[in-house]
Chains A and B, each alone.
Chain A
Amino acid sequence: EAQVTQNPRYLITVTGKKLTVTCSQNMNHEYMSWYRQDPGLGLRQIYYSMNVEVTDKGDVPEGYKVSRKEKRNFPLILESPSPNQTSLYFCASSPPGRDQPQHFGDGTRLSIL
Chain B
Amino acid sequence: AQKITQTQPGMFVQEKEAVTLDCTYDTSDQSYGLFWYKQPSSGEMIFLIYQGSYDEQNATEGRYSLNFQKARKSANLVISASQLGDSAMYFCAMTHSGGYNKLIFGAGTRLAVHP
Contacts and interface: CB of A to CB of B under 8 A. Distances in A.
Given A98-B33, A98-B95, A42 B106 contact: yes
Interface in A80-113: 88, 90, 92, 94, 96-104, 106-107
A88 B50 CA distance: 24
A4 to B, nearest CB: 10
Nearest to B91: A42
Interface residues of B, number: 26
Chief secondary structure at chain B's binding surface: strand
Contacts, number: 62
Given A33-B103, A97-B100, A101-B50, 16 more contacts: A31-B101, A33-B101, A35-B105, A40-B107, A42-B105, A43-B103, A44-B105, A45-B103, A48-B101, A88-B43, A96-B101, A98-B32, A102-B101, A103-B47, A107-B43, A107-B44
User: 10 closest pairs, A vs B, by CB?
Assistant: A42-B105, A31-B101, A104-B45, A101-B47, A43-B105, A98-B100, A98-B33, A42-B107, A107-B43, A106-B44
